[in-house]
Amino acid sequence: MRVRAVQGSSLLAADSASDSRYGDMVSPDIAVLDRLGEHFAAGYFELPGASPMRRWSRAVRRRLEKRSLASYDGELLYPSGPRILRSSTENRIVEPSYSFTWAFNADALRSAQQSADGEEAVALNRLGAAMSDLTKAMSVWDSPHTVGGRGYTHSIPNYGRVLREGLEAHVARVEMGLEVAYSESDRDKMDFYVGLQDVLTGIRGWHSRIVALLEDWTSADPGQCRRRDALLGALRRVPFQPARSFYEAVVAYNFVFYLDDCDNPGRLDRELDPYYALDQGCGTVTRAEALSLLRAFTDNVCANDAWSAAIGGTLPDGRAAYNEVTRLCLEAVHHRHRPSYELGVRTDMPDDIWDAALDAVTTGCGQPAFYNDAGYCAGLREAHLGVRDEDVVLWNGGGCTETMIHGCSNVGSLDAGIHLPMILERTLQQHLPNIRSFAGLLDAFKKNVAAVVVDITEGVSRMQQVKAVLVPQPMRSLLVDDCIDRGVEFNAGGARYNWSVVNVAGLANVVDSLSAVREFVFEQNGLSGEQLLSKLALDFDGEEALRQRLRRCPRFGNDLAEVDDLAADIAAFVFGEFRRYAPWRGGRFLPSCIMFTTYAAEGAKVGATPDGRRAGEPLADSIGPVAGRDTHGPTAMINSVMRLPLQLATGTPVLNIRFGKVLLKSSDGRRAVRDLISTYFDGGGMQIQVTVVDRAALEDALVHPEMHADLIVRVGGFSAYFNSLSPALQRAILDRTEHVL
């Protein structure tokens, strides 16, 4: 493994308690910021001489103490609904962010400045100058190779630890760490633990206001009053004390979900089942009551467009992990687009779990996606990431599905992405006119890829270094193991696991293009390299016959060995290049193929390509074939994908497949889908996700969107409402092959 030296490492030696690198700028008046609703920013500027950890911890505290509370209307759970009220006028300029701690909204600043005068204008000007300087200090890497992320960081709190121990145990561990830090005169650790005390004070303040809101609430509806009383009783205990029942566990889980600003629910069934089993044994909860609770939590996840929850799979002792909460989760997600359930499939997965999963898929929600549990466990072990045996079975996607370990990870998610068609376009322009062999062209492409990988890995490490200094994440330092025990902040490497997931985009476009060049230029001499480049530069204008001829060249996704072998060679090279390097924060670079909603926008960056694709058209969707080019059936398609070295891309190689609704209405059709998934996993497949919608429905939704408000499609790692997607992305989904079995 190579660890590349990174320029600018002296930044880490900067005095963490000094803001000297920001110049002599005067801080804005915090009282004015508070009056403007900028409580988060006001908290940051309360401690102008303190370290970033202290300053952003104070910002978190003030935001929690002063944030608006949504109304309570007799729900089973509270907090509920969107984490940011739609009518909110607070924290609009400096916005809390679970990925970057803060986000500077320059448009909101300009809007506020238009109506400000006097001391408000002065405060806003100073706020804008300070945040602009901080934003510039964060800009240490410029590259077109991001593809869905530039230092982005999803994560998953250790929900189970809060349920088992309560936040009072976190308080005690922080106090113990602070005592040791004082005794050792360790200034950085003192700042770290004092910052976490501020965060805990803010949590207490928010929690107390929620309890007071519930105490003051009244209703004439007896059912609503019973729900309020139960919720109030639970919140008087959790999350500070350990949960004692399934209800208290779900209430605490929901509270932590909102504390983390509604990112990933994580391993729901693994964390909640012990409480459900206990209550079932005592007869204190019915299945219907448990299902209602999980539906309420699911609605909160949907309201925030939150992300992934892995269920099923394997226990640390090797036994299957499926339980009754697994079944409840699958039932609760019917007709809902979130959370993005990741069902860990084993060869011994019970029939009733298969049935529950296919029942959910048949509702059209795209849930769950299916994951090869053994493949993920093996892939994580083989990546030499140092994952403990008891932890590896806790794999869980973050965001779309960037692989991490539940409760103890800081994984770049996504840190960056390599745009392969962009590199191919440059390679063709450089070499195609004069190169004498296809092997030479392929070698030139790989050399260009290798150079870009070096730039990406070094750029990610520079970003990680700067984040460790300027962008601490106090809430994640509190809720993710092992930050408290190490006394190290989340972005400085405090989490137990710190690898970096990077995205590989446009693999199938490159394979199809090189396949066409090999056949048409080097084998058949249909055009010279220079002539082909001229046609591409004109976007095939007046050359439709040529474009269609290129489109008939062998394509990836049709079980054609000559194309699939080329795809496997390129994939192995790209994945292997990333895995040679280690990011600054630790671990390795872990490749993925997750295009979620990016494959339309990323296609707009590339001109016409030799596969007959016109300039600006979408890229291929994740690890699968270009939409509509897999014409030999689903078995041929998965055979092609299985030839790829998928375990080298354990960050998750997403594979989309679409079936018509009629298929899953019959027992034979459901069995065929199950067999296809099992065959794919037996052959080394890692992940597959199913959209069940007829082409006619998609076409009608383009014309009459108002008639299809609830139409859900699977994108690239998650489900989304079809109407929420861009026209280019809608068309790309429509172009997917509708398979039959």
Beta bridge partners of 689: 656
Total residues belonging to the chain: 741
Alpha-helical regions (H) of 480-524: 483-486, 507-517
User: Can you read off the two tokens belonging to residue 62?
Assistant: 């003030």
Residue 204 has pLDDT above 90, yes or no: yes
Residue 695: per-residue pLDDT: 77
State how far the Cα of 446 lies from the Cα of 441, in Å rounded to an integer. 9
pLDDT over threshold 90, residue 713: no
737 pLDDT exceeds 80? Answer: no
CA–CA separation, 354 vs 443, rounded Å? Answer: 45
Band of the pLDDT at 121, cuts 50, 70, 90?
very high
566-584 pLDDT per residue, tens: 999 999 999 999 999 999 9
Helices (H), 386-506: 389-392, 420-431, 438-470, 474-479, 483-486
List pLDDT tens digits, range 300-333: 999 999 999 999 999 999 999 999 999 999 999 9
Omega of the bond leading into 28 within 30 degrees of 0 (cis): no
Pick the closest to residue 98 from 230, 263, 282, 212 (CA basis): 263
Euclidean distance between CA atoms 42 and 63, whole angstroms:
9
Pick the more confident residue, 148 or 479: 479
Q: pLDDT value at position 720? A: 76
- Give percent of the chain with pLDDT exceeding 90: 84
Q: How far apart are CA 140 and CA 9, in angstroms?
A: 12
Residue spans per domain, the chain: 18-64+72-138, 144-156+408-651, 274-398+655-741
Over 90: is that where the pLDDT of 20 sits?
Answer: no
> What pLDDT sits at residue 7?
37
What integer is the mean pLDDT of 611-636? 92
Contact between 722 and 436 under an 8 Å Cβ cutoff? The reply is no
What pLDDT sits at residue 56?
A: 98
Cα angle 237, 241, 244 (rounded to 5 degrees) comes to 75
Q: What is the reported pLDDT for 201?
A: 98
Of the pLDDT bands very low, low, confident and very high (cuts 50, 70, 90), residue 658 is confident
Report pTM.
0.94
Closest CA to 539 of 419, 425, 444: 425
pLDDT at 546: 95
Question: Measuring CA to CA, how many Å separate 111 from each of 96, 105, 421?
Answer: 19, 10, 39
pLDDT score recorded for residue 598? 79
Mean pLDDT of the chain: 93
pLDDT at 16 over 50: no
Q: Determine which of 244-248, 289-293, 425-429, 591-595 has the lowest per-residue pLDDT on average.
A: 591-595
What are 215-245's pLDDT values in tens digits? 999 999 999 999 999 999 999 999 999 999 9
For 96-134, b where at least 16 C-beta lie within 10 A, e where not — what string?
A: bebbbbbebeeebbeebbeebeeebeebbebbbebbeeb
Whether pLDDT at 82 is above 90: yes
Res. 4 pLDDT band, cuts 50 70 90 = very low
What pLDDT does residue 725 have? 81
Residue-wise pLDDT for 22-33, tens only, equals 344 579 999 999
